[in-house]
Amino acid sequence: MPELIRVGRDEDRDTYHLNMGPQHPSTHGVLRLRLHLKGEVILSADPIVGYSHRAHEKMAENRNYIQFLPNTSRMDYLSGMIYNVGYCQAIEKIIGLEVPERAEYIRVICCELNRISSHLLWYGTLLMDLGGFTPFLYCFEDRERILDILDLVSGSRLTYCYGRFGGVTEDVDDKFLSETLAFCKHLRNRLPEYDDLVTNNVIFQNRCKGIGHIDKKTCHEFAVTGPCQRAAGEKRDVRRDEPYGIYDRFDFKVPTRTGGDCFDRFMVRVEEISESLSIVEQAISKLPVGPVMAPKVPRKIAPAKGEYYFAVESARGHFGMYIVSNGTEIPERMHFRTPSFSNLATMRRVLKGSTISDTVAILGSIDIVLPEIDR
């Protein structure tokens, strides 16, 4: 039998193989972890992906650049807005299209709201994996408000197709702005409540502290990005290091920790929520008036022959788009560098020596989205 399929007790009857997933609620999708166990301790772990492969990259080779827009938000369905807008920004940069100021600000507001909603969902599901159901409901209540706000402008709740080459589809109205500001205030009041309920909870701290160390060296070797990398002490953020769009105009901190364990990753994300809130508030206070769509968008989008790379910071880390154009309307090749894939790859090293119950916490803390890994 091929090594990856074999499960059950080994011949020496001392160790055994166990499949965790693909239909396991705490693997956040269809991830299969093949664990080699001795008792409760993991000797080796193989993450096996590909169960929700939908060939987005191949689809890109069979349609023109505009038609690929709905695919982008379906790769990472939790931060679809960031992917969608990121793809638009990539194409705009390639063909040299100027985006109106107002559209840029709206994009930042929507992307940061989407980042918060993604982090809130992660917060809830991590806590649910650890056995706390109440925080999950509170997080979803807050996340629901974000989805409603984004629904006001983009017309969808999860898989947004809001960005267009040269701007966005809809202008924001006063209702959107007032509700966003009200939400920011509401969530700021809610965060201390979350701290009382979760962060300061001794059981939670004991569950998370000191497990799942991803250190700087591992980050470098596996190209770990996003909150996982920042929790290891690396101050890296695409928004800060190579600002795309108008991110250089905002004043925000890049939260970092030094330990690199589950609790540090948790704290980094919680701090990121309040940083994103401050970006949203700054963007609303500076929001200029004007059009939300570039006046002249070429009907045919055919970038010059060549290879292009563009990266944005998604809720999970460095999301890169590698686009090869052959000068026609249809791309020659499109490849996406998605953060969860690299973050998950570390599991082979990180899970070694930990226990099954910790595996759930570690997997939850790296915040993987399987459709984004498989694409």
Partner 1 sequence: MEMISDVYRGFRSLLKGMGVTIRHFFRKPVTVEYPRERAVVSKVQRNAIVLIEKDDIGSHNCIACLQCEKICPSNCISITGSRKDGLAFKRPDTFDLNFALCSECGLCLDVCPTDTLGYSKQYDKAGYSREDFFYDLLDQWKATEETALGTLREIERKKKEEREARRKADAEAKAKAKENDDGDEKA
196 binds partner 1 (CB under 8 A): yes
Interacting residue with partner 1 among 10, 40, 98, 141 (CB under 8 A): 141
202 binds partner 1 (CB under 8 A): yes
Q: Residue 277 belongs to what H/E stretch? A: helix 262-286
Owner of token pair 């974000």: 146
Q: Residue 106 belongs to what H/E stretch? A: helix 101-129
Helix (H, G, I), strand (E, B) or coil at 58: helix
CA–CA separation, 279 and 239 (whole Å): 11
Cβ-proximal residues to 10 (8 Å cutoff; 6+ apart), any chain: 16, 17
Phi first, then psi: what are they for 333, rounded to 5°? -155, 145
Interacting residue with partner 1 among 106, 109, 120, 198 (CB under 8 A): 198
Q: Residue 53 belongs to what H/E stretch? A: none
- For partner 1, the closer CB: 41 or 59: 59
Interacting residue with partner 1 among 10, 40, 98, 144 (CB under 8 A): 144
- For partner 1, the closer CB: 44 or 169: 169
CA atoms within 13 A on the CB side of 20: 23
Binding mask 169-188 for partner 1 (x = CB under 8 A): xx------------------
Interacting residue with partner 1 among 10, 40, 98, 193 (CB under 8 A): 193
Choose the stretch contacting partner 1; rule: CB under 8 A; options: 133-141, 217-225, 259-267, 349-357. 133-141
Range 29-68, binding partner 1 (CB under 8 A)? 63, 66-68
Q: How far is the CB of 153 from partner 1 (least distance, A)?
A: 7
291 binds partner 1 (CB under 8 A): no
CA–CA separation, 10 and 6 (whole Å): 9
146 binds partner 1 (CB under 8 A): no
Triad 30, 33, 37: Cα angle to 5° = 155
Q: Which two tokens stand for residue 38?
A: 């001795």
Q: How far is the CB of 294 from partner 1 (least distance, A)?
A: 13
Residue 110 near residue 118, CB atoms below 8 Å: no
Interacting residue with partner 1 among 114, 117, 118, 154 (CB under 8 A): 154
266 binds partner 1 (CB under 8 A): no
Q: Which residues bind partner 1 (CB under 8 A)?
A: 63, 66-71, 74, 134, 138, 141, 144, 148, 151-156, 159, 161, 164, 169-170, 193, 196-198, 200-203
